[in-house]
Copies of this chain bind each other. A is one copy, B any other.
Amino acid sequence: MNAEQVLNVLNPELKNALADRYDAALPGMSAGLVDWAYEKHYGRDGVDLKTRQLCTIAALTAMGGHTAPQLAANIEHTLNAGARPSEILEIIWQMAVYGGMPASINGLNVAIKLFDEKGLDPRS
């Protein structure tokens, strides 16, 4: 897949949102991010988008709560890639083993808040 096809699944608004937010201050930012993340990584063959997104959830959780805004955005992408809320919570909780309890709890808080806002049952 190319970046456009990937983002049509994960977040069709992302490129424009990034452009509106960043390109005036930093020309080329949105194009650079989209090409690097979604063309050069998510667009590659060999691993499906849902698995890639769950791995991103794992990494953002384990890296610690400074990634909370990116974790929230990627939880939405992961739902769009076909994961269920309970799968996302399982992976965040698993990270307590690797990134420690504070990182995992911060991740759970981000996910639970988001599912609540979207009216999603966390156990579905």
Contact = CB atoms under 8 A, between A and B. Distances in A.
A93 B36 contact: no
Given A42-B94, A90-B44, A112-B25, A65 B62 contact: no
Contact of A61 (B27, B59, B67, B112): B59
Contacts of A87: 46-47
Residue from A27, A55, A60, A86 whose CB has the most chain B CB atoms within 10 Å = A55
Interface in A46-79: 46-47, 51-52, 54-67, 69-70
Interface in A110-124: 112, 115, 122-123
A80 interface: no
A71 to B, nearest CB: 8
A102 to B, nearest CB: 4
8 contacts: A32-B36, A36-B96, A47-B90, A52-B94, A54-B55, A58-B59, A60-B62, A66-B102
